[in-house]
Chains A and B, each alone.
Chain A
Amino acid sequence: MLNFPAWKVVLILIVLVWGALMALPNAFSDGFLGVAPREPQSDAPQDIAAYEQQLGAAEDSWWPSFLPTGKVNLGLDLQGGVYLLTQIDPEEVAANRLETLQTDIVQALNRDPLIERNVPEQQGTTLPIQLRNAEDMDDALRRLRRINPTVGATGGQKVLSIEQTAPERILVSVSEDAQQALAADAQSTMITIIRRRLDPDGVSEISITPQGDTRIVIEAPGEADPRRIKNILSQAGRLTFNMANTDQSSINAAQATRPPPGFELLEDQLGRLILVNRTPVVTGSDIATASQGRDPDDNSPAVDFRLNGTGAERFGQTTASNRGRIFAIVLDGTVMSAPRINEPIWGGNVQITGDFELEEAQDLADIIEAGELPAKLNFIEERTVGPGLGADSIRAGTNASLIGLALVGVFMIIAYGLIGGFAVGSLLFNIVLILGALSGLGATLTLPGIAGIVLTIGMAVDANVIVFERIREEQQNGRSPTTAVIAGYERALSSILDANITTFIAAAILYLLGSGPVKGFAVTLAIGIVTSVFTAFVVTRWFTAMWLRAARPRKLSI
């Protein structure tokens, strides 16, 4: 037990030095050692470019690149920021998908028409279809099956279930299974769109991660107000150009009864009603770029966008043949503007003006460029910590740790004297190792996590205490210091492991089932248990062994 051959000493030193090196960057201010490159968030070119730039910066730093530069990640509760949990409604995803497929369905059935001209009405995730003749059933089913797409890119589940419910009736619907699959598919699409909306330049530290199949977690460090994020993400971003009618008598007629087939009544930003053709000329997928611009008339903020080739072509032709009429730019069911077509617009450059603040125009451009969300995002949990509270928490946590450490240290030295001092020495190493492990593992330190460290400080000495008590007893039984120490360590081992394994089990469960800050507590507790067994049982023993050999005490004052 007190025999430390060279290889063991080397091993201990490697662990201690490694821990110290990993912990070292935490002692310096940000950027002093250069910035550790963060993994690119996605394969998007701007993310890769940002990563490469960081790599270059890291190489130029004076700090050798083989040494770690990463600090402990601070949780949102310590550095301040916004945490948002969002929920995707699978039924809504399915209904939206069915709506976009409706055009294809109607088109397929309208060729040598099998159905009456009036468009079938979608009811949630189902679309009942009434055929003209029961004899057309086989033909209709065949046509529908041909256009039935699969969820995701290739193979796998079909989106639509197509059933015959009566001799001349068909029910097209999205089944539960398909809804789940669509939602999971939508989740990854949405993560990409959310990232493009919130972080168009790929520079911020926003993290967007899936949770389960229908949830997305958004964490934005440094953000103090959740409203901007909620705003940007609560818009579906469905942008269309539709032909429209602002003729007051038609509007009044539509209001009195109902809009003519294929039309709907929409409000503009000021609440005025406009009759809009349901079938869009241009949709969000036709838009190449969007950016914040200026209204040439009064220089107020506006949104400029450019259509891609096919979109510009279609828009040009439509405007050419509808000179003098009105078209509407519709965003999420609201008419953003409804200009009259004075001349054909061929270049594909369009501008939306309105009563925008500069930031609003910028956000709207980001939303349009990022594309349409397959469904609305429902926010179900928000937790925001302002920078002031975060800084206060760090200060409070640091104070509590230092005071706790001092109290425990003084207590140990008073109780055990010199050998207690060894325990305090290894306790310091313990903290260095915890910090090193947290930095090295990229774990996140939260406020409860700091509490976990302080708790570990208190409990870490337990292993020492168990050993010291045993040594004391063995010495009482008449053993010499060296044999007492050996016996003490041997007999205490099983108790120490038993005791720590039970606490480790608790920490592991907390990690698996806990969330957010509590998970941070579990991490530091678990790391603390491992490092404290190592420092208390190995490092303290090594100190004691060296001291016994050097001082050869006749009696341990323990």
Chain B
Amino acid sequence: MLLQYWPKSTNVPFMSYRLPALLFSAILIAASFALIFTKGLNFGIDFAGGSVIEIEQPEGVQEEDVREVMSSLDLGEVGVNAARGTGVEGVEVIVIRFATQQAEEGMDQDTAQQQANDRVRAALNEAFSGVNVRSSAAVGPKVSGELLRSGLMALGVALLLMMAYISVRFQWKYALGAVAALFHDVIITMGMFALTQFEFNLSTIAALLTIVGYSMNDTVIVFDRVREEARKYKKMEADKVINLAVNQTMSRTLLTSGTTLLALLSIYLFGGTVLSGMSFALIFGIVIGTYSSVFVASAVLLLLGLEQGEKQRKEVEGFQGV
């Protein structure tokens, strides 16, 4: 339908912009590193340990009232914030947060954390009888340390496996380009989290892994085409070959990103607060991942020197007989 009005063959000289684009990406990466190391990531309790308790705001009770109840419990610094809860109608909620507790004699911090949560529940029940605790979580330092390690390990293993896969399916120059794009996407997305101070938690790691998968997916589609055209056109200049391939896959790239973004936007807007951080990461990552498969992956491939014609090793075509 509408797509037939889309230009049959676009001819955007993407690769002419490769140097400014690479420079732009380099600046973004440097800025991301700077942000991650100066502002830091806002780790949620999954990774930092601590407690979060969300209660439905009782009738006539203000933030200050809750803060007062909390201050009597000696929990260190306690954050008390009113917010809108997950859900269609979005009830008013109050979110209470506090960090890892100091251990008393004969007790470790993990146990102290659990007891602090129990004490908060008891105090809330006493102060506002019948209070509805919507959720509560207490993560001890032992667990949060492990979750962070295993989260980072998951990310590392994913990147390694992607490299392995792409090295098998493509020549090493392609693999290098694809991997550069992956690191680009992951670092800049993390930089975005440092900038906005959105909570960085287990769901964020899940989002990052999905971004890695998606960005790889996007790059593979473009590279498949680049390889096909490079075989076909021996004499054409390398940047023209890549431009051709990118233009040919452009409408697919835009359409798929479009539908995926539509779906994610629907989660971001209607999926409630629990999912908003995750969908934010995904939306940002997919935009960045789409950009990087053209301006990082392909640009790096071009810098490394695209091999064309019969010189181009006949790669594993695999799957052809499936």
Contacts and interface: CB of A to CB of B under 8 A. Distances in A.
Contacts of B67: none
Contacts of B212: 506
A384 B1 CA distance: 50
Contacts of B85: 389, 392
B4 A494 contact: no
Contacts of B275: 396-397, 400, 447-448, 450-451
A414 B1 contact: yes
B13 interface: no
Contacts of A504: 213
B23 interface: no
A397 B134 CA distance: 17
Interface in B144-159: 147, 150-151, 153-154, 157-158
B11 interface: no
B117 interface: yes
Contacts of B110: 87, 378-381
A389 B89 CA distance: 12
Interface in A177-211: none
Interface in B195-223: 202-203, 205-206, 209-210, 212-214, 216-218, 220-221
Interface of B (DSSP majority class): helix
Contacts of B44: none
Interface string B116-156: 01100110000000001111111110110001001101100
Interface string B81-97: 00001111001000000
Contacts of A502: 162, 165-166, 213, 216-217, 220
Contacts of B154: 509-510, 512-514
Contact of B274 (A85, A393, A473): A393
A403 B136 CA distance: 30
Contact of B136 (A226, A457, A503, A517): A226
Contact of A507 (B137, B213, B221): B213
Contacts of A447: 271-272, 274-275
A473 B261 CA distance: 25
A379 B272 contact: no
A500 B220 CA distance: 10
Given A226-B136, A498-B220, A513-B154, A451 B267 contact: yes
B214 A403 contact: no
Contacts of A404: 262-264, 266-267
Interface in B244-268: 248-249, 251-252, 255-256, 258-267
Interface string A481-507: 000000000000111011111111111
B1 A407 contact: no
B262 A408 contact: yes
B132 A499 contact: no
A367 B71 CA distance: 35
A461 B224 contact: no
Contacts of B224: 494-495, 498
Interface stretch (B14-22, B33-41, B296-304, B313-321): B313-321
Interface residues of B, number: 88
Interface string A372-403: 00000011111111101100110111011101
Contact of A469 (B56, B252, B258): B252
Contacts of A115: none
B270 interface: yes
Contacts of B213: 502-507
Given A224-B133, A393-B274, A505-B161, A399 B88 contact: yes
B278 A448 contact: yes
Interface stretch (A9-17, A331-339, A348-356, A518-526): A518-526
A457 B1 contact: no
B88 A514 contact: no
B61 interface: no
B138 A381 contact: yes
A230 B202 contact: no
B272 A503 contact: no
B108 interface: yes
B1 A413 contact: yes
B246 to A, nearest CB: 13
A411 B271 contact: no
- Which range holds the interface residue count of chain A? 35 or more
A416 B1 CA distance: 5
Contacts of A393: 86-87, 272, 274
Interface in A471-487: 472-473, 476
A396 B3 contact: no
A441 interface: no
Contacts of B161: 505, 509
Given A408-B262, A447-B274, A509-B161, A497 B319 contact: yes
A495 B267 contact: no
A226 B137 CA distance: 10
A458 B263 CA distance: 5
B255 A505 contact: no
Contacts of B111: 378-380
A384 B210 CA distance: 27
A384 to B, nearest CB: 5
A357 interface: no
A143 to B, nearest CB: 35
B278 A416 contact: no
B87 A403 contact: no
B140 A384 contact: no
B209 A510 contact: yes
A403 B270 CA distance: 8
A455 B260 contact: yes
A38 B88 CA distance: 34
Given A400-B270, A451-B279, A476 B8 contact: yes
B88 A472 contact: no
Interface string A455-473: 1011101100110010011
Given A386-B133, A448-B275, 5 more contacts: A224-B133, A389-B134, A400-B267, A454-B266, A499-B220
23 contacts: A87-B142, A226-B117, A226-B136, A384-B135, A386-B135, A388-B56, A389-B87, A393-B272, A396-B272, A400-B271, A455-B263, A465-B252, A465-B255, A494-B319, A498-B220, A502-B162, A503-B213, A505-B162, A509-B154, A510-B154, A513-B150, A558-B3, A558-B4
Interface of B: 1-4, 8, 54, 56, 85-88, 91, 108, 110-111, 114, 117-118, 121-122, 132-140, 142-143, 147, 150-151, 153-154, 157-158, 161-162, 165-166, 169, 202-203, 205-206, 209-210, 212-214, 216-218, 220-221, 224, 248-249, 251-252, 255-256, 258-267, 269-272, 274-275, 278-279, 282, 317-320, 322
- The list of the 8 closest CB pairs from A to B, nearest first, reads A458-B263, A392-B87, A417-B1, A506-B213, A458-B260, A503-B213, A404-B266, A396-B272
